[in-house]
Amino acid sequence: MPELCPNDQQVSDGANLLISMLVRYPEIGTINFNPEANSLKLTFMISGIPSASDYKTIKQLIINSVAAYHMLEGTPATATDVDLSSYEQVAMLTVSRDVHTMSRGEIDLTIKLLRDRFADRLIADHNDSMLEEDLLFQEEVIENMLENMRSQYNDHHSLIGIREDGRVFVFNK
């Protein structure tokens, strides 16, 4: 594994983005950052396997909603990709988006759609000790790190952020 220098601001921004997103959004199970495609993959865990028609419906709903969000915001949107995989009785719904057009509002929208569609089946690692100020701080950090990643991230470190037992880990792949 390559060694990271504490002064490497770009890696720090990428790691901070993943940490803040996982802390702020307990519904996100893992996040993968691919610097070559400059994209983020957000993976959500769902208890039970959705039917093919449920998957098709939520996939189209997410794609259409993200496109509508960007149209209303007046920002360009690139393709949104939604994939479903499963392991035993857990489904993993992965939403892939490019960092250049992704926004915190879009992440909020996607999570609200998943909450509405899957209710108590959406697996989340809630942290009741988080105060409103902490959540607002994390939202501000996410906006800043997304902006930094849009404007200056040109490093080649793939990052993965995971949540495990109430803790958040970020690794350099």
Q: Judge whether 49 and 100 are in contact, CB under 8 Å.
A: no
* 19 backbone dihedrals φ, ψ, rounded to 5°: -60, -50
Token look-up 């002064």 returns 7
Residues 14 and 160: their CA atoms lie apart, in Å, by 10
In the prediction, which pLDDT does 66 show?
93
pLDDT tens by residue, the chain, 173 residues: 334 444 444 457 788 889 889 988 899 999 999 888 888 999 999 999 999 999 999 999 999 999 999 999 988 877 889 999 999 999 999 999 988 888 889 999 999 999 999 988 999 887 666 666 777 787 888 888 888 776 665 556 788 999 887 788 899 87
In the prediction, which pLDDT does 2 show?
38
In the prediction, which pLDDT does 167 show?
84
Q: What global pTM score does this model have?
A: 0.84
At the second CATH level, the architecture of 9-172 is 2-Layer Sandwich (3.30)
Residues 138 and 143: their CA atoms lie apart, in Å, by 9
Q: What is the 3-state secondary structure (H, E, C) of the chain?
A: CCCCCCCCHHHHHHHHHHHHHHHHCCCEEEEEEECCCCEEEEEEEEEECCCHHHHHHHHHHHHHHHHHHHHHHCCCCCCCEEEEEEECCEEEEEEEEECCCCCHHHHHHHHHHHHHHHHHHECCCCCCCCCHHHHHHHHHHHHHHHHHHHHHCCCCCCEEEEEECCEEEEEEC
- Residue 69's Cβ-side half-sphere holds a number of Cα atoms within 13 Å equal to 21
Q: Judge whether 92 and 85 are in contact, CB under 8 Å.
A: yes
Where are the chain's structural domains?
9-172
